[in-house]
Amino acid sequence: MKKINDFQMLLTQEITNLDRFIIKAPLGTNEFWSQWQEKAGQIVITKAAIKKALKIYKGKLPEEEIAKLQAVLDSYREIASYLELLRETALRLKGVSSDNWDIFDSIEDDDEIEF
């Protein structure tokens, strides 16, 4: 039997953590929109929490922590793109044309996250 290395364990953990963002309801249903709103809200709240933590600890975080936070933000940016693609697809199925909108970056960014 092959031994699982640290990288494989981390990757499995990350996939499990991010799996909660998969929307399983059929596109355009009320359940879909409810799940979509919940997951989009989680992204908005996570970004706000990271921004606040970085403001409070500006200049006091070790490089390793900064790298972890950047990786988290990158993951959430990818998830936001997935959610946006689903939103646009669901709206198009209803015959509604929508502008490209970015859940992650459309949150007020008057003081952008600085690492």
Cα(11)–Cα(61) distance, integer angstroms: 24
Torsion angle in degrees (nearest 10) through CA of 77, 78, 84, 85: 160
Global pTM exceeds 0.85: no
State the sign of the Cα–Cα–Cα–Cα dihedral 3, 7, 10, 14.
negative
Number of neighbouring beta carbons within 10 Å of residue 41: 11
What digits encode the pLDDT tens for the residues 60-94?
989 999 899 999 999 999 999 999 999 999 998 88
Is the pLDDT reported for residue 33 higher than 80? yes
